[in-house]
Structure 1
Amino acid sequence: MSQAIRIHQTGGPSVMQLDSVRPEEPGAGQVRIRHEAIGVNYIDTYHRSGLYPVPLPSGIGLEAAGHVDAIGDGVTQFAIGDRVAYGNGPIGAYAEFNTVAAGRLARIPDAVSLEQAAAIMLKGMTARYLLKETYPVKAGDTVLYHAAAGGVGLLMCQWARDLGVTLIGTASTSEKCALALSMGAAHMINSSQENIAMRVREITDGQGVPVVYDGVGRDTFEISLDCLQPRGLLASFGNASGAVTGVDLGILTQKGSVYVTRPSLAHYVASDRALAANTADVFDAVARGAVSIQINQRYALKDAVQAHIDLEGRKTTGASILAP
């Protein structure tokens, strides 16, 4: 038997419990991984709360790294003991073991540690699709990113700098602003003290930005629209403050015929080929030093409840990981 965090009902962090489970045997085309490090991501709180429904009872977590423990029929690309990671499910990463389709795994390069891989897979793939696919940035662009001191945010700061892009970030404290600046943000706006849209206009000489990357959701939706250039794009990719609802499409005309998209990583890595291209780019960025993952919180698997309390309480910066 092994241990896994499971939810039998949706709700606050306390609905997560540590259960004893039997590790699943891999079927054809599958690999079982013994986890060494597990990533904690905001989407996990959506599954736990019921915002993103999952069949109950359920495991939780989409991202982990470890060693290949068992191999199903037909798997030839991995061997027992290989270092591998995944960042797009299957759900159930908060556990000592998980069984994953071989095509959804990435081999971890020697230059990347297991902890780094567990902390960067989902966040790194998210940063990559936002910067290179949702709105493909080019050198000289100026962009806005909300919550720049978070796990994805610190990667965006670094990767934008590597691509020659000026990133304006927001954060709720002066300490978080300083952290994001140290990681590559060109400008930071303290959202608890400054008018975000006004500061963006000042920084861009009144022009606004061509794209806003917004993982906050309800609290920043209209602010983000106010920061855009005419025909700019709002990429609303998360709901940290709650879901955006009840939108009158006429507001998009009023704000300058702007666009809004609600992207999801799953649609950008739906095929094994797309996933492999994304993860290869992420690991390349880490290996050549263009980005580094800041693991600022570590918890034991049994302390997953506290990890979620801290994450939702905005007490974390960078990445958080669980150790099984």
Structure 2
Amino acid sequence: MSLPETIHAIAFNKNGGVEVLEKLTFPFPQQKPTDIVVKVAYGGVNMIDTYFRKGLYPSPSFPQISGFEASGVIVKLPTDPAVLESKWFQLRGYKIGGRVAVNGLGSHAEYLSVPWKNVYPIPDELSLEAGAGILSHGLTALTLSTEAYNVKKGDTILIHTVAGGLGLLFTALAKHRGATVIGTTSTPEKAEIAKSYGADHVILYTKEDTVKRVLEITGGEGVDAVFDGVGKDTFLANFELLKRKGTLVAVGNASGAPDPISPLKLSPKNIKLVRPTVGNYIVTPEEAHPYFVELTNALKTGLFKIRIEKIFPFTVEGVREAQTELATPGNKISGKILIKIADV
């Protein structure tokens, strides 16, 4: 395959609003011996994209290419013999032309060169569109529901933004494990979508008092765990609706980072507070492999159903609109939004 000398990518040279996003030209990515080179078809759009753009999460350097997940096809395999001979590498069954999903910063580009451990083959049953929408949310749901708080039969779980792409997977997984799921969302339409994924109770936070409703549903006891991707706007209320020895899993910061709290805030109920990142659960191939297998099985069995809400063009205007729509409180997004980068 003939490869270009330059590529296009959506990037930013400084932190700020969506106006800092530009479509820039870069040299073709230099492949390290342990990297796989991928021609990108679709990029997933996630809240973490906005965190890096705003500077909540620091960028390694500027210009910084946006995006944290993508799908496409392999155009180059690693050249390091130790990698090629590794059982963990061989278990994934990579091949030139193979369809893959990629997880890592800088994915909204025409080509990527990324460490092989961040590249996952896409099952034959899955489209490239779905492949670009599953990796970040799928691995987050699996790792956090196992290691941040191990969701189990008999638990009662609260999921904020239950009808978003991540919330729907959290819901499906928790129901599969035998938990009761309470969710929050903004509209009746989104509530129905969440119920179709298994949510038992959906609270319309735009019309109802979330703390009051959770305590009503649980008979005043509260929930075993909260998975909160909202952040600042919901953070403190979670302490009121968690039961004694409950766990607060701070997943994200859609409304902004929560204000600092004293550790003494945890002591009245012996609450556990966790702020994990999926990347720190799957640093090594050995750690990632069981989750990759579980994710593949969840896709093949239909446990994880990928709902693609919108696909935006690979333009500055398209990516700006996608990030704006995703980050708008009470948005109409129920599922995943993508950027179509190229045909492959």
- TM-score band by shorter chain is over 0.9
Partner SS for 2:129 = helix
Equivalence for 1:247:
261
- Within the candidate set 129, 136, 141, 1:115 is matched to 129
User: Residue 220 of structure 2: SS of its match in structure 1?
Assistant: coil
* Greater Cα shift, 66-75 or 122-131: 66-75
1:143–1:211 Cα contact (<8 Å) kept? yes
Separation of aligned partners in 2, 1:21 and 1:57: 10
Q: Shift of the alpha carbon at 1:29? A: 1.4
Quote the offset at 1:177 in angstroms: 1.4
The CA deviation at 1:163 is 1.6
Partner of 1:53: 58
What is the number of equivalent residue pairs in this alignment? 321
2:310 is the alignment partner of 1:304: no
The amino acid across from 1:117 in the alignment is G
Query: Residue 307 of structure 2: which of 277, 282, 294 is its match?
Result: 294
Q: Percent identity?
A: 36
Amino acid at match of 1:175: E
* Kept after mapping to 2: 8 A contact 1:146/1:170: yes
Superposition map of 1:207-218 within 5 A: 207-218=221-232
**How far has the Cα of 1:8 moved from its partner?**
0.5
Shift of 1:276: 2.4
Counterpart position of 1:66: 72
Aligned residues of 2:71 and 2:102 also touching (Cα < 8 A): yes
Cα drift, residue 250 of structure 1: 2.2
Once residues 155 and 247 of structure 2 are traced to their aligned partners in structure 1, the CA distance between those partners, rounded to angstroms, is 13
CA RMSD of aligned residues (A): 1.3
Name which of structure 1's ranges 160-169 and 73-82 shifts more when overlaid on structure 2: 73-82
Do 2:152 and 2:174's aligned partners in 1 also have CA atoms closer than 8 Å?
no
Contact 2:175 2:181 in 1 (8 A): yes
What's the TM-score once normalised by structure 1's chain length? Answer: 0.95
**Which amino acid is the alignment partner of residue 246 of structure 1?**
P
Per the alignment, residue 138 of structure 1 pairs with 152
Distance in 2 of aligned mates of 1:278 and 1:48: 29
Q: Which moved more, 1:105-114 or 1:181-190?
A: 105-114
Find the counterpart in structure 2 of residue 193 from structure 1: 207
Q: Which runs of 5+ in 1 are unaligned?
A: none
- Give the whole-Å Cα distance in 1 for the aligned partners of 2:235 and 2:78: 46
Alignment deviations for residues 179-200 of structure 1 (CA, whole Å, 9 cap, x no partner): 2112211110011111111111
For 1:1-324, what aligned pairs fall within 5 Å after superposition?
A: 1-54=6-59, 55-74=61-80, 76=84, 77=90, 78-87=94-103, 89=104, 91-254=105-268, 256-302=269-315, 303-313=318-328, 314-324=331-341
> Displacement of 1:98 after TM fit?
0.6
**Distance in 1 (alpha carbons) for counterparts of 2:7 and 2:57:** 27
The letter for the 1-side match of 2:238 is S
**C-alpha deviation, 1:71, in angstroms:** 2.6
Letter in 1 for 2:12: I
Verify the 8 A CA contact 1:39 1:118 in the aligned structure 2: yes
Q: Quick check: 1:35–1:98 contact (8 Å CA) kept in 2?
A: yes
Contact 1:86/1:121, CA 8 A, preserved across alignment: yes
